[in-house]
Amino acid sequence: MSDLLLMILVGVVVVVASPAVVCSQQQWQQQRVLPGSSLQASAPSLIWSSINATFSLGFVPANPPTDPASFVASIAYSGGILVWSVGNGILVDSQGSLQFHSTGDLLLVNGSGTILWKSGTSGLGVAFATLEESGSLVLWNSSSNAVWSSFDNPNDILLPGQGFKAGDVLRSGLYSFRMLLNGNLMLRWNETVVYWDQGVNSSVDVNPWGNVVKGYNPRFVNLSATLQSPTLELQAVGILAISDPVLSSPVIMAYSSDFAEGTDVLRFLKLGNDGNMKIYSSERGSGTAIPRWAAVQDQCQVFGYCGSLGICFHSKLGQQDNPSCECPSGNFEPISTQDARKGCKRKVELKNCPGNSTMLELNHTRFSDYKREPLAKNELRVSESARSSCILDCLKSNICVASASADDGTRTCYTQSSDFFSGYRVSSLPGTLYIKVCGQGLPNPVSSSKNMSENADFLGLDHGFLVVVTVPSVVGFIIFQIGFFLWYRWNSPVIGRSLDRYKLLEYVSSVPVQFTYKELVISTKGFKDRVGAGESGAVYRGVLSSRDIVAVKRLYESNLGEMDFRKKVSTICSTHHLNLVRMIGYCCQKTERLLVYEFAKNGSLDSLLFQTEDRNSLTCLSWEKRFNIALGSAKGIAYLHEECRECIVHLNIKPENILLDENYHAKVSDFGLAELMDPRGHHRQELSSIQQTSSYISPERLANLPTTSKADIYSFGMVLLEILSGRRSYEVSIDTGGLKFSTWVREQFEKGSFLSIIDRRLAKGDVDMEQVQRAIITALWCIRNQPSQRPTMRRVVQMLEGHLEVELPPPLDSVHELSYPISPNSKSTFIHGA
Ligand SMILES: *[C@@H]1O[C@H](CO)[C@@H](O)[C@H](O)[C@H]1NC(C)=O
Ligand SMILES: *[C@@H]1O[C@H](CO)[C@@H](O)[C@H](O)[C@H]1NC(C)=O
Ligand SMILES: *[C@@H]1O[C@H](CO)[C@@H](O)[C@H](O)[C@H]1NC(C)=O
Ligand SMILES: *[C@@H]1O[C@H](CO)[C@@H](O)[C@H](O)[C@H]1NC(C)=O
Ligand SMILES: *[C@@H]1O[C@H](CO)[C@@H](O)[C@H](O)[C@H]1NC(C)=O
Ligand SMILES: *[C@@H]1O[C@H](CO)[C@@H](O)[C@H](O)[C@H]1NC(C)=O
Ligand SMILES: *[C@@H]1O[C@H](CO)[C@@H](O)[C@H](O)[C@H]1NC(C)=O
Ligand SMILES: *[C@@H]1O[C@H](CO)[C@@H](O)[C@H](O)[C@H]1NC(C)=O
Ligand SMILES: *[C@@H]1O[C@H](CO)[C@@H](O)[C@H](O)[C@H]1NC(C)=O
């Protein structure tokens, strides 16, 4: 971000290049630059410009500034955004120059005369140079063939028209971006750690994201065929796509959120020094660039962002792109007091305290480089041990330096033996990180002194609302806000203490009750009784003064402003269906966003479905209950999609979000939250969640492609398989021959062996085989890769009920395609629309 500021500064420099200078002496330089010309760091107003002055090449002051001043020879876009620099940012002193030598070489020379960089084009017959309107600096020979170009020597930015081939690389510090020959795009840290990987050939089970097959069109490409020479290109309208001779049309990898908007806008792809790759757009002459798409949604997931042993966390709610870093505890100290991103070091090295180490416990924290394929690397060993052995195993091991237990019901333990690792803390994350330290674990001096205590924050604040309001400096805005507040109080039927209000309203009205933060703190006894946690927030049991039991969900990140939040809440509140969890009210005070729901007595489906062996098998859900739960959830989702006033795409369907009331009726929860979490409808919280959740996410969503309600159908199909089998769909075991459960089901079904699919705990006589068969076929249709092949939820209900005869879908392998209309702006588009 900070380099953007400098880019603005540079804009000033370009403006300083007054017409007088350009017209008299440098007019010829507007087109062809001849050998013998040079640019001086001491005369920054002297520039080489492209024909319509869209781009210019000249010296700009170093960023950050140095003492004595130093300069970089850079290409800037109109307005001053730097897009390329000679030698990827080599600094020269104030006597430095860029010389176009008569031999044809372009040289960057320091004041002392040292050649710091050269294009290596001497003797190739270079006759002249141009700066193209595309932003490329090109050296030509006399028959006008390009001998060298800046486009072929990228730094950290890719401009429209600049082809990026396998073998090319964008670099920024330790981070690099490459495309593999198979069309996969990868972000790496220090060449070794891959923390982002997406591509044309993100094929089944090979890809860590799960079942992602993107852009494959079997009519033209054959999965076993290879790409010949894939080229990644950012189209000027803001579409990032891969083309190849074997592909009939380019495969779209990403859309910039302002794609095809504006007329005089430059879009570019940049690998930042924060390790994230983003598409920016800059309006001509504005000097500012706005990020429009990011490869890694959650900045904390960029490997090494907080350096070695650093802990990454989001200090401000809803700011996933600007996290903070700190050291794990008092056993560590920052490497640099100026820059927390440099990481931390141990005060006492582990080798200096043999046999006297303990495991430091960091709640709500996990490794930032959680691998999505835990078995792939030996540094990340998975054992089925419980929490305590996750600690003990690491403590006893000589090579283990840290471990993490997932605490999400999977009892997964990750261990780490490398010196370089970092953590990611999210207040509602169900997971604990243990770091081996010498002696006793000490509290974190920084965290505790900052009074990070979440609950204490509000208790003394009666005027929380006014505090929010007075922050903006525009007085009119304040008056408007107060006016709105008063108006709201007058016109809202919910005046007075909300506890009574709730009693009054009962379940008749769809007007959400507004609770104060204090009321919810009291009803949940200070958020003591935590009953669950998801990506969007933790859920606590609470009792209202009316004695009604409620579930209070405390969102931990919401980007929505107050008014938008209220609007969305009223949408959610207005959806009533037997199979949807009823929202009663909400609280929106300062940065706190809480939602109050009816309480489902039997908890969530996952706790009943995936029981651990030691539980009594009598509590196993009967087939009848399971089938009704499946049907009920389908009806609830169908209502969300098609019948309610404002249709809602759920985007987070999984057993954890299907609750069961006292009669085991399914109640879908958490709907509408995807939107609440981010006004632009992105799915940040989703992709930032733990590995397993990705198995419910449809391929097109994982691929950042336009998403419709069909994404929910995919997730529901996975849940349906889990209801049938009592196993997680991502589970890989010996039973399933090393295949992912969802893949294996299909094989078994084709062989006619239903019995191997259904839960072994179910008594054979109680199972209605006809229902089982219908449910399996329905599930297999739901989990098609191609969204258009999945049925609608209404059809799913009909299929389950047996009102619609369906055949087994064709084998998966023949349909590896995901094709999208070029415009994602159709009405049903959810993710990238608007
Ligand atoms: C430069 O601007 C002129 C007039 O606006 C336009 O006709 C021409 O196509 C532009 N040249 C390039 C290379 O974009
Ligand atoms: C360029 O010259 C200056 C002063 O002569 C010197 O301090 C600096 O280190 C030189 N830069 C490089 C990259 O050699
Ligand atoms: C210019 O370069 C092209 C391609 O490299 C080459 O074929 C041609 O002979 C060169 N022309 C001159 C005059 O060197
Ligand atoms: C896709 O990946 C598979 C397995 O890694 C490989 O065999 C195949 O050649 C790849 N196809 C393309 C088009 O790169
Ligand atoms: C990066 O990798 C190199 C070689 O593998 C290694 O020597 C170096 O220590 C690594 N850098 C960091 C910061 O770990
Ligand atoms: C797919 O490609 C492989 C290897 O190039 C070839 O053997 C096979 O016949 C092709 N299949 C189809 C359906 O074209
Ligand atoms: C972490 O959580 C456990 C269980 O909730 C609690 O006993 C422990 O005190 C917590 N540790 C820290 C450092 O907050
Ligand atoms: C272990 O470390 C603690 C605290 O640093 C120290 O008091 C104790 O003497 C050490 N014990 C051994 C056996 O080194
Ligand atoms: C932190 O909070 C405690 C009471 O909760 C208070 O006594 C202390 O002064 C606070 N510290 C800071 C640095 O604000």
Q: Is 479 exposed, middle or buried (0-12, 13-18, 19+ CB in 10 A)?
A: exposed
Residue 493 binned pLDDT confidence (cut-offs 50, 70, 90): very low
- Which one, of 56, 60, 84, lies nearest residue 72 by Cα? 60
Ligand nearest to the CA of 418: 5
Average confidence (pLDDT) over 276-284: 92
Q: Is 194 exposed, middle or buried (0-12, 13-18, 19+ CB in 10 A)?
A: middle
Between the CA of 420 and the centroid of ligand 5 the distance, in Å, is: 9
Average confidence (pLDDT) over 560-571: 79
- Which one, of 106, 130, 144, lies nearest residue 33 by Cα? 130
Do 459 and 401 contact (CB within 8 A), yes or no? no
CA 69 vs CA 15, 299, 654, 696: distances in Å:
21, 32, 57, 54
Between the CA of 195 and the centroid of ligand 4 the distance, in Å, is: 20
Say yes or no to pLDDT of 488 above 80: no
Residue 68, preceding bond cis, omega within 30 degrees?
yes
Rounded-to-integer distance, Cα 24 and Cα 44, Å: 16
What is the reported pLDDT for 630? 96
Do 328 and 360 contact (CB within 8 A), yes or no? yes
Look at the block and give the residue holding tokens 């710091």: 116
Which of these ranges, 59-68, 96-105, 644-653, 795-804, has the smallest mean pLDDT?
A: 644-653
Do 126 and 35 contact (CB within 8 A), yes or no? yes
- Which one, of 649, 777, 780, 793, lies nearest residue 713 by Cα? 793
Say yes or no to pLDDT of 259 above 70: no
Instruction: Determine which residue's CA is closest to atom 3 belonging to ligand 4.
Output: 224
* Ligand 9 atom showing the smallest separation from residue 456 Cα: 5
Please give the residue that has the higher pLDDT: either 724 or 729. Answer: 724
What is the reported pLDDT for 257? 66
What is the reported pLDDT for 735? 75
Instruction: Determine which residue's CA is closest to atom 3 belonging to ligand 3.
Output: 145
Mean pLDDT rounded to a whole number for the chain = 75
Q: Which of the listed residues 181, 203, 212 should we mutate to test ligand 4's pocket, taking the one with most ligand atoms within 8 A of CB?
A: 203
Ligand nearest to the CA of 420: 5
Say yes or no to pLDDT of 376 above 60: no
Q: Which of the listed residues 171, 175, 190 should we mutate to test ligand 5's pocket, taking the one with most ligand atoms within 8 A of CB?
A: 190
DSSP state for residue 601 in the 8-state scheme: T
Do 193 and 304 contact (CB within 8 A), yes or no? yes
Between the CA of 243 and the centroid of ligand 6 the distance, in Å, is: 20
CA 80 to chain CA mean position, Å: 30
Say yes or no to pLDDT of 768 above 50: yes
Which of 127-141, 608-622, 704-718 is predicted most confidently?
127-141
* Ligand 4 atom showing the smallest separation from residue 201 Cα: 1
* Ligand 5 atom showing the smallest separation from residue 304 Cα: 13
What is the reported pLDDT for 606? 86
What is the reported pLDDT for 497? 42
DSSP state for residue 695 in the 8-state scheme: G
Between the CA of 52 and the centroid of ligand 1 the distance, in Å, is: 6
Look at the block and give the residue holding tokens 């395609």: 817
pLDDT > 70: percent of the chain: 71
Rounded-to-integer distance, Cα 282 and Cα 285, Å: 8
Instruction: Determine which residue's CA is closest to atom 6 belonging to ligand 8.
Output: 439
For residue range 307-361, list pLDDT tens digits in order. Answer: 999 999 887 655 566 788 999 998 999 999 888 899 999 999 988 888 888 999 9
Ligand nearest to the CA of 126: 3
Between the CA of 215 and the centroid of ligand 6 the distance, in Å, is: 18
Ligand nearest to the CA of 175: 5
Q: Is the shortest distance between the CB of 459 and ligand 9 below 6 Å?
A: no
pLDDT > 90: percent of the chain: 31
Q: Identify the residues whose C-beta falls under 6 Å from ligand 5.
A: 190, 420
CA 281 vs CA 14, 256, 268, 284, 679: distances in Å:
19, 8, 7, 10, 20
Say yes or no to pLDDT of 213 above 50: no
Q: Is the shortest distance between the CB of 363 and ligand 7 below 6 Å?
A: yes
**Mutual orientation of helices 623-638 and 710-725 as an angle, nearest 10°?**
170
Three-state secondary structure readout of 382-413: CECCCHHHHHHHHHHCCCCCEEEECCCCCCCE
Which positions ≥6 away from 322 have C-beta within 8 Å? 1, 299, 316
Please give the residue that has the higher pLDDT: either 229 or 2. Answer: 229
What is the reported pLDDT for 163? 93
Instruction: Determine which residue's CA is closest to atom 10 belonging to ligand 9.
Output: 451
* Ligand 6 atom showing the smallest separation from residue 218 Cα: 13
Q: Is the shortest distance between the CB of 440 and ligand 7 below 6 Å?
A: no
Q: Identify the residues whose C-beta falls under 6 Å from ligand 8.
A: 356, 439-440
Ligand nearest to the CA of 203: 4
Instruction: Determine which residue's CA is closest to atom 5 belonging to ligand 6.
Output: 225
Please give the residue that has the higher pLDDT: either 215 or 433. Answer: 433
Rounded-to-integer distance, Cα 68 and Cα 708, Å: 56
* Ligand 5 atom showing the smallest separation from residue 190 Cα: 1
Instruction: Determine which residue's CA is closest to atom 2 belonging to ligand 4.
Output: 201
Look at the block and give the residue holding tokens 């490409």: 221
Ligand nearest to the CA of 813: 6
Ligand nearest to the CA of 430: 7
Instruction: Determine which residue's CA is closest to atom 4 belonging to ligand 1.
Output: 52
Between the CA of 364 and the centroid of ligand 7 the distance, in Å, is: 9
Between the CA of 147 and the centroid of ligand 3 the distance, in Å, is: 8
- Which one, of 458, 479, 456, 679, lies nearest residue 590 by Cα? 458
Please give the residue that has the higher pLDDT: either 532 or 57. Answer: 57
Which of these ranges, 59-68, 397-406, 609-618, has the smallest mean pLDDT?
A: 609-618
Between the CA of 818 and the centroid of ligand 4 the distance, in Å, is: 17
Which of 273-287, 407-421, 805-819 is predicted most confidently?
273-287
Tokens representing 416 are 């780490």
Rounded-to-integer distance, Cα 305 and Cα 667, Å: 40
Q: Is the shortest distance between the CB of 116 and ligand 2 below 6 Å?
A: yes
Ligand nearest to the CA of 113: 2
Say yes or no to pLDDT of 373 above 60: no
Instruction: Determine which residue's CA is closest to atom 13 belonging to ligand 1.
Output: 133
Instruction: Determine which residue's CA is closest to atom 7 belonging to ligand 4.
Output: 224
Between the CA of 811 and the centroid of ligand 6 the distance, in Å, is: 17
Instruction: Determine which residue's CA is closest to atom 7 belonging to ligand 7.
Output: 363
Rounded-to-integer distance, Cα 669 and Cα 533, Å: 12
- Which one, of 40, 63, 555, lies nearest residue 318 by Cα? 555
Q: In what order do the strands lie in the sheet with 169-172?
A: 169-172, 175-179, 184-189, 193-199
